[in-house]
Amino acid sequence: MRINKYIATAGIASRRKADDLIANGNVKVNGETVAELGYDVTDSDTVSVNGRVVKPEKRMVYIALNKPVGYVTTVSDDKKRPKVMDLVTDADVRLFPVGRLDFNTSGLLVLTNDGDLANKMTHPKHDIYKTYRALVKGIVSDKQLYKLTKGVDIGGYVTKPAKVSVVKIIGKNTLIELSIAEGKNRQIRKMLKAVDRPVIELTRISIGEIKLGRLMVGGYRKLKQEEIEYLKNI
């Protein structure tokens, strides 16, 4: 088995993140640092990541979590900030988040120990639309909606076409819904800033056919079998 898949199956990270760990010298096989991304390991090898021996998990777990504002989407944090993993109190396997939501964004996040699925969900070739609800300052005009739909420059990068609609006007502000099939850093916030409608609040409500629904903030649930099958077949 390739070393990145071995690490992913152990529930440490996706295969792409595992490649980063290898490239940074954080992975050893039988006590020797491995630098080759395509290195193959066998069941008799001892693999360690950051000094800790890891083994592939045979039981896969898939969780949908409603991330609160003020939590980081990481397994560990040097600044000692609250982590999304702190919210999952009864997991008996090592999980990691698929993708990210920034510190001030809430909403749907998938946690798993299935590195292959995580790799599929985050790979650019799969157009998985992620849908957000954004409360923005001011009243969004038809012209601004059109720009967001066609793509806007967010600093040297023009976004791909998005699906955008107004949900309702709240006082002097607007609640809108946006769906994008890409995931640049802080992309939604940058898109809305580009049309002069900065974000007040931002929540992700779906990842493809996986819905946040009525899941309470900070709460989580196991994915249904049909949801797991959907993600495996994208």
pLDDT band at 59 (very low <50, low <70, confident <90, very high): confident
Total domain count, the chain: 3
User: Residues 110, 226: one domain?
Assistant: yes
Query: What's the confidence (pLDDT) of residue 176?
Result: 98
Least confident of 2-6, 44-48, 124-128, 140-144: 124-128
pLDDT above 90: percentage of residues in the chain = 70
User: Residues 183, 217: one domain?
Assistant: no
Catalytic position from the list 102, 127, 153, 196: 102
Query: What's the confidence (pLDDT) of residue 115?
Result: 84
Question: Residues near 96 by Cβ (< 8 Å), separated by ≥ 6?
Answer: 11, 12, 13, 14, 75, 85, 111, 112, 113, 118
User: Residues 31, 44: one domain?
Assistant: yes
Question: Residues near 193 by Cβ (< 8 Å), separated by ≥ 6?
Answer: 154, 199
DSSP 87: G
Q: Which domain CATH number covers 151?
A: 3.30.70.1560
Range of the domain at 185: 130-207
User: Residues 162, 203: one domain?
Assistant: yes
Task: List C-alpha distances in Å: 2 to 16, 55, 145, 166, 207.
Answer: 12, 13, 46, 47, 29
Summary mean pLDDT of the chain = 93
- The answer, yes or no, to whether residue 58 has pLDDT greater than 80, is no
Task: List C-alpha distances in Å: 65 to 50, 80, 102, 118.
Answer: 27, 21, 14, 15
User: Residues 184, 218: one domain?
Assistant: no
User: Residues 77, 136: one domain?
Assistant: no
User: Residues 31, 91: one domain?
Assistant: no
For residue range 61-84, list pLDDT tens digits in order.
999 999 999 999 988 888 999 999
Q: Which domain CATH number covers 74?
A: 3.30.70.580
Nearest CA to 225 out of 111, 9, 113, 62 is that of 62
User: Residues 203, 139: one domain?
Assistant: yes
Backbone angles phi and psi of 145, in degrees to 5: -60, -40
User: Residues 157, 199: one domain?
Assistant: yes
In degrees, to the nearest 5, what angle opens at C-alpha 131 toward C-alphas 129 and 134? 150
User: Residues 108, 78: one domain?
Assistant: yes
What CA–CA distance (Å, rounded) separates 145 from 165? Answer: 7
User: Residues 121, 218: one domain?
Assistant: yes
Q: Which domain CATH number covers 12?
A: 3.10.290.10
Query: Any catalytic annotation for residue 142?
Result: no
User: Residues 141, 195: one domain?
Assistant: yes
